[in-house]
């Protein structure tokens, strides 16, 4: 009898929370499509970079190093997809548990923030592949400089004073690094 009761309780809990989880994932379906697009984009450019390195390999050792390994590439892509889903689900949970009760944002918006973090990381990776294939030099610090300037330009459109203050802060930070 106890085993049946436990099974019924577990089933009822799954129906309750499972439906809510499935609904949250359904609400974020376009974000999942964005993730799949980013995965395909990064996979394609990683493949192109590998092909580029193989074409320019001089020695047999280099050629062996840049041999394409489909199983490794697919495994890494699957891991990235799981990472994306983790960012999405953490965003959904934060949204449902914290931001929705306080009416700050809904779970779709917080999931979008989580996905944005994942897509940002993958975009830097893909940009590195693109730069290598085209023979450009790429340093992640250059990407951060661009993002800072872009943020300042956007903020200056709303408030000139706040934009100036942010720009001064970034300039001071840059001077401290030099």
Residues 79 and 155 in one domain: no
pLDDT of residue 63: 85
The answer to whether residue 11 sits within a structural domain is no
Instruction: Check if the beta carbon of residue 124 is closer than 8 Å to that of residue 140.
Output: yes
Taking only the tens of pLDDT, the chain with its 178 residues reads 455 556 666 666 666 677 777 788 788 899 999 999 999 999 999 999 999 988 988 888 888 888 889 999 999 999 999 999 889 888 988 998 999 999 899 989 999 999 988 888 888 888 888 888 988 887 777 777 777 888 888 888 888 888 888 888 888 877 776 5
Where is 34: in which H helix or E strand?
Answer: helix 29-55
pLDDT of residue 13: 63
Cα gap 9→3, rounded to integer Å: 10
Task: Give the chain's length.
Answer: 178
138: three-class secondary structure by DSSP: coil
Residues 69 and 120 in one domain: yes
pLDDT of residue 48: 93
Residues 57 and 143 in one domain: no
Q: How many domains does the chain have?
A: 2
pLDDT of residue 76: 92
Instruction: Check if the beta carbon of residue 122 is closer than 8 Å to that of residue 39.
Output: yes
pLDDT of residue 173: 76
Residues 80 and 148 in one domain: no
Residues 131 and 171 in one domain: no
Taking residue 111's Cβ as centre, other Cβ atoms within 10 Å add up to 27
Instruction: Check if the beta carbon of residue 95 is closer than 8 Å to that of residue 103.
Output: no
The answer to whether residue 22 sits within a structural domain is no
DSSP state of 56: T
Residues 86 and 164 in one domain: no
* Range of the structural domain that residue 162 is part of: 139-178
pLDDT of residue 49: 92
pLDDT of residue 44: 94
The answer to whether residue 94 sits within a structural domain is yes
Residues 85 and 128 in one domain: yes
Cα gap 21→89, rounded to integer Å: 9
pLDDT of residue 117: 86
Residues 116 and 172 in one domain: no
Q: Note the pTM of the prediction, 2 decimals.
A: 0.68
Residues 56 and 126 in one domain: yes
């Amino acid at each position: 009898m106890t085993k049946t009761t436990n099974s019924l309780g577990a089933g009822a809990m799954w129906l309750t929370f499972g439906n809510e989880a499935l609904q949250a994932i359904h609400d974020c379906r376009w974000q999942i499509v964005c993730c799949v697009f980013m995965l395909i984009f990064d996979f394609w450019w990683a493949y192109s970079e590998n092909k580029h390195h193989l074409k320019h390999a001089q020695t047999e050792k280099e050629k062996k190093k840049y041999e394409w390994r489909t199983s490794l590439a697919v495994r890494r892509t699957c891991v990235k997809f799981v990472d994306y889903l983790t960012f999405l689900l953490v965003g959904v949970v934060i949204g449902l548990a914290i931001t929705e009760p306080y009416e700050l944002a809904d779970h779709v918006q917080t999931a979008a923030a989580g996905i944005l973090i994942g897509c940002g990381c993958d975009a830097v990776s893909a940009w590195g592949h693109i730069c290598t294939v085209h023979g450009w030099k790429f340093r992640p610090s250059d990407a951060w400089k661009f993002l800072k300037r872009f943020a300042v330009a956007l903020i200056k459109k709303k408030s000139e004073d706040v934009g100036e203050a942010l720009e001064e802060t970034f300039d001071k930070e840059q001077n401290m690094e030099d």
